[in-house]
Structure 1
Amino acid sequence: MSKRFGAMQRKVVLAALPLCMLATAECAAAGNGAVATRFAVLAAQTGGAIGVSPEQRLRDEMRLLLLEMIESGAFGQTPPEQISLSIDAPRERLASLGILVDSSAGSAALDGLHVLGTTPGSTAARIGLRAGDTLLSINRVSLANLGDGDGGVAKAALVLRDEVARSSDGATLDFEVKRNGTRSTISGVLAGTWIPALHLRVGDGVQLASSDAASGVADAAGCGRISIFDVAPRQRQLHAATLISIDGRRSPFDGQTSFRVSAGRHVLTVGERIDSRYLGFNDRLRNSDNGERYKTLTVEVAPDTTYSLAAQINQDKRNVWRDGAFWDPVIWHETTEPCR
């Protein structure tokens, strides 16, 4: 996946704030110094749209997001009629916290994470967290004075995200909270939420991954899809992957997250995009000549099936970078859906 698309993903998080309402700690931690301001502006815009259906709000937000992507050069010089961007995500149960914290910088979280708001009906709201609270710890893991993390955000927000991600649905969360100068412990059960499958296609262009489909006609045996859209659960040691080639063919993968292939056997060449904080060595060793940058995975594609691809950390080898021993490509989810 290119750096360009990584930037697109960050913009999706910001532009979709009125929709996701920062339903997970990860969503909260993904912000930057402008998150609080951006949230307030979007909340005001959303508040002025009372009576507008969720479907129309989604269309409006998508138009704004596409405009931002085009103006930022996300699609390069590709003519509009040739743009093809497909995003697919399987139905998934998420462990959501539903809290907005000030993650603008480590200096904003010297005494802990400051709560800016909670989503109505969320786990955070249900267990009694509220705007104005300062989170000092979660499950006895400190959230105070941790400095800056990746991307300049407060490391405490990343720790909060990871602790929630590691907690299974129904697990108890214990927060040490300072409210109005008084410390107390607030506990509650983490409640999961089912997120429906996502199928989003932008543009009229059609990009087909294999030579079988190069003419625009699917194989007589049918077709399926390979998806690298990153919704893999971190608590299962599953992380983002990059698709390098399908059956030895590269093109045109930039910005694409779903690839249509004919039914049958396909050999995928895969790279890992595991966040370095999950590994026991630095990026210099990871990218050394002794590392195995790409691995192959053979997939038997059934008709009308989408296969979600991820990079899985081998926990017993997470400190071994030589020959890429720390990871393997895996298909972690299969979804039955029409392919045409």
Structure 2
Amino acid sequence: MNKFQVLTLSGALALGLMGSGASFAQEQEARDHARAAAVAAAKAEGKAESVTLEEPTRSYFDWGAILNPDGRVMSVRSDSVAQEMGIEVGDHILKIDDQVLAEQSLQDLVSYLETLEHDHSFTVTVQRNGQKKTLSGRVKATVIPGWRLEVDVAQTVIDKADEASCGRVSVFVTPPQARDLYPAYFVRIDDDNVLTRRPIVKLSPGKHTVEIHELIDDPWVRRSRSINHPKSIEIDVEADTTYYLAARFVRDKRLSTVNEEYWEPVVWREVEQECESN
């Protein structure tokens, strides 16, 4: 996958977040696109410790008419600016504002349209049934917000162990959704904030309180982001053991979103794995 494909994937993140009232499903879709872009960026950059992709804010204007090379209108999209102006199939475009088609290529004329800013007024002169008509319109541009995606390739582990021996807690592995288990991310461990981009944490043997936040994307779940809080689970960490955490979807309580009874943090897998503290 090349960088152009990565940018295309990442662009979906900006589109997914355009509306301030974006639903959780849209946010989750944006996360999925961002995750795919992050994986692609990491592969593209090889051994780089971090990768940054970004694009500035931009806009484009699609006025809704398709023209053949000589400027004749082939089709007009419903509810488009072209339709609102009164452009009809069969019209022959003569000029847009003071840009005369006979003096330039159709591509140059279309490029001029695309550079017009939002809410800018413009005119189109057409020939229809042997008569010239001048039609007026106003630009309705689509704005794509700027975005920045930082991918931390090298550092996936936080070492919070105080002793030579240690165990791990992890949200790195995607749990099986067939068992109603969904991804999560760390929020806090033993009253210490954790960077959410670190999916593995080394801990000293003993009891630890781990807070995670759910990333359940089941269509049955309808919750407000304002009341969506992390939950804690206590784990008695043993040396050389990795504990994989997930958010378990409690399907029979899927409508209990106010009290957040629809999910609970769980350890879904334990694996014996050598662990050495730095």
TM tier, shorter chain?
Answer: 0.3 to 0.5
Q: Look at both structures and tell me which one has the larger radius of gyration over its CA atoms.
A: 2
- More strand per residue: 2
Give the TM-score taking structure 1 as reference length: 0.39
- More helix per residue: 1
